[in-house]
Amino acid sequence: MKKNKLMKKLLAVVCCGMMLTGSLSGCGVAVSDEAKGSSTETENVQTESVQAENEQTENTESEVKQSETIVKYGTELANLDLDGTLHGQYEGQTLTIPVMSGDFEKAVSAVVPVFEQMSGAKVVIESIPGEQYTDKVQLDLNNTHRYDVVLSPIAILHGFAIAGKVEPLEEMINTYAGESYNVDDFLPGLFNTYGYYDGKLVAIPYKPDVMLLFYRKDLFEDESVKAAYQEKYGTELKVPETNEEMIQVAQFFTKSENQDSPVDYGYCAMMLKGSTRLLFFNRGGDDIDENLNPNMNNAEGVAAMNRILELQKSAPKEWVQMGWDEANQFFANGNAAMMEQWPGLWLTCQADGSAVKDKVGVAVAPGKTPTLGGWGASIATESKNKELAWKFIEFMTSRDGELLKIENTMDPCRASTYEIPEVQASSELYEALMESFNYAKTLADVDVPYISSKLCDVMESYIQQAMDGSMTPEEALEGMEKEFTTEIGNLGLED
């Protein structure tokens, strides 16, 4: 009976989105707070949160009878109470959660009213601009101790873990998780890389990210272009799978190499300082091994650097000044045949006014060593509500919870979610995305506690010096290795 009552209240809260548009995004974080004070009878259930909460109204009761569960992507979300472990028992408790402004804020805020209704707790969301986010979270973990749940990039969470600022999660799962919370359902590469650090489970995957190859499928499928490629190279034009294939295809689509190319450049990427190491990883290079020893000054590293230099010949000279927005718009304007980028490029390509709308395909990065990014969720060690904090993380990352975040650009982390036909059909990215997670091994940020940013800068500096010709690839890798050895050694992590 308790579960049925909660489900009726839950449906009342979200009916504004579910009954009319199938979306939670129309309900704000304040839904539960505003609704608790409402006792007014209304003739129709409006989208306003006060009316939505009033389960006594005739129309709300009628809607509840018509639908016992919420449906997302063709799936009934029948376990939002996490196997009966959420039944309003946290009333009077409050969670404070920092989120980065933008998509993260929207995604987390969308599930808050549902969680509040199921748990009885109050959730306070603090929106922080992206450029201030990590500093403010770190300041709180070190000093003010207000935050309960920590959402951050994986390498940052690992740094918090080694400093003892976030809680190990295995005991939380064993003690508080519902019976059906299955960690084996997470994509293996994600869960192992994101979750574990120094032998402890410290984070749960929340937002997956991996570099993908975006390509102009209209060009790759054009019969005249295919015939020209066949004549020039004696082989069929296809989406490249190896580094060597990509370099050759990039040359073919570059006007300085082929005057008949339908586009100016064969390849593009964001290469503003802060991003060049991503191309190094995509081409087969590495940063550190599992023992935190430098792992770039080797044959694989030299090959990766030389591949970057070859691709540079097929890229615009200004690519070293291109950040996220500039590089994405360059590709969306139709200036290049291929681009390696995070999944967010897709939205730019499909936007109104894009020259490549409905003309772009997606594949695994050639060479199959794509850079891995992404965010995870952890519990602050100083949280006063650790059990409740875990239940919120469990809720967001449960099989049902995942289906509530997808429409807000937070892609799935669970294998079973990708198997849902309606989820597969919701994005052309997902097939390549899921396959890429099987290959990705190196995180975008150097995964060394305390000095991740410094080591990233070291890599950027040496790679760019190799690109501008002031160093050979071998000299750049040797210098990189020496600085890594010194900086990591100064940490004294073995002591």
Arithmetic mean of pLDDT, 92-111: 95
Residue 271: predicted pLDDT: 87
Q: Which two tokens stand for residue 177?
A: 């998780």
Domain identity same for 204 and 118 = yes
Question: What's residue 377's pLDDT?
Answer: 98
**Nearest Cα to 397, choosing from 160, 147, 171, 115?**
115
Question: Using an 8 Å Cβ cutoff, are 51 and 57 in contact?
Answer: yes
Handedness of CA 426, 429, 431, 434 (dihedral sign): negative
Predicted local distance difference test score (pLDDT) of residue 494: 58
Q: Which phi and psi angles does 373 have, rounded to 5°?
A: -120, -155
Measure the CA–CA gap between 287 and 368, rounded to whole angstroms.
Answer: 17
Give the domain-ending residue among 405, 420, 436. 436
Stretch 207-224: mean pLDDT: 97
Q: How many CB atoms lie within 10 A of CB 108?
A: 27
DSSP 200-256: EE--EEEEEEE-EEEEEHHHHT-HHHHHHHHHHHSS------SHHHHHHHHHHT-TT
Task: Indicate whether 316 and 382 sit together in one domain.
Answer: no
Give me 218's structure tokens.
């209209």
Q: Cα separations (Å) of 386 from 150, 162, 169, 177? A: 12, 19, 10, 13
Per-residue pLDDT of 124-158, as tens digits, reads 999 999 889 999 999 999 999 999 999 999 989 99
pLDDT of residue 38 exceeding 50:
no
Nearest alpha carbon to residue 392 among 65, 96, 175, 48: 96
- Distance separating alpha carbons of residues 157 and 136, to the nearest angstrom: 14
78 assigned to some structural domain: no
Residues 196 and 93 in one domain: yes
User: How would residue 59 be classed by pLDDT, with cut points 50, 70 and 90?
Assistant: very low
Question: What confidence tier does 69 reach under pLDDT thresholds 50, 70, 90?
Answer: confident
Same domain, 388 and 331: no
Q: Is residue 338 part of a domain?
A: yes
Residues 128, 93 share a domain = yes
How far CA 8 is from CA of 12, 63, 111, 396, in Å, comes to 6, 9, 17, 20
Mean local confidence (pLDDT), 4-28: 39
Confidence of residue 449 (pLDDT cuts 50, 70, 90): confident
pLDDT band at 47 (very low <50, low <70, confident <90, very high): very low
- Look at residue 76 and tell me if it is in a domain: no
> Sign of torsion, CA 136 139 145 148?
positive
Q: Is the pLDDT of residue 160 over 60?
A: yes
Residue 79 lies in a domain: no
**Span of 28-42, 107-121, 334-348, 469-483 with lowest mean pLDDT:** 28-42
What Rg value do the Cα atoms of the chain yield, rounded?
25
- Which residues span the domain enclosing 186? 85-209+374-436
Domain end point (choices 436, 457, 477): 436
Q: Please tell me whether residues 387 and 303 are part of one structural domain.
A: no
* 409 in the same domain as 478: no
- Residue 342 shares a structural domain with residue 235: yes
The rounded percent of the chain whose pLDDT value lies above 90 is: 75
Count other C-beta atoms under 10 Å from residue 431's C-beta.
Answer: 14
Same domain, yes or no: 301 and 255: yes
For 58-110, the DSSP string reads HHHHHHHHH-SSEEETTEEE--TTTTTT-SSTTTT-EEEEEEETTHHHHHHHH
Classify residue 75: in a domain, yes or no.
Answer: no
The pLDDT, as a whole number, for residue 1 is: 41
Reported as a single tens digit per residue, the pLDDT across 275-298 is 899 999 999 999 999 899 999 999
pLDDT surpassing 80 at residue 45: no
Q: What is residue 131's predicted lDDT score, i.e. its pLDDT? A: 87
Q: Are 281 and 369 in contact (CB under 8 A)?
A: yes
Q: Which CATH number fits the domain that encloses residue 157?
A: 3.40.190.10
pLDDT confidence band for 485 (50 / 70 / 90): very high
pLDDT of residue 50 exceeding 70? no
Q: Tokens 């109204």, residue? A: 57
Are 242 and 343 in a shared domain? yes
Residue 77 inside a domain? The answer is no
Q: At which of 418, 436, 454 does a domain end? A: 436
Number of domains in the chain: 3
Between CA 123 and CA 108 the distance in angstroms is 10
Question: Do 230 and 325 belong to one domain?
Answer: yes
Q: What is the mean pLDDT of the chain?
A: 86
Residue 151 burial (CB count, 10 A)? 25
Does residue 266 sit in the same domain as residue 314?
yes
The predicted pLDDT at position 407 comes to 84
Q: 243-269: per-residue pLDDT in tens?
A: 999 999 999 999 999 999 999 999 999
**Model pLDDT, residue 89:** 97
Q: DSSP string covering 398-459, please?
A: SHHHHHHHGGGT----BHHHHTSHHHHHH-TTHHHHHHHHTT--SBSS---TTTHHHHHHHH
Amino acid at 196: Y
Coil, helix or strand at residue 380: strand
Domain assignment present for 74: no
User: Does 80 map to a domain?
Assistant: no
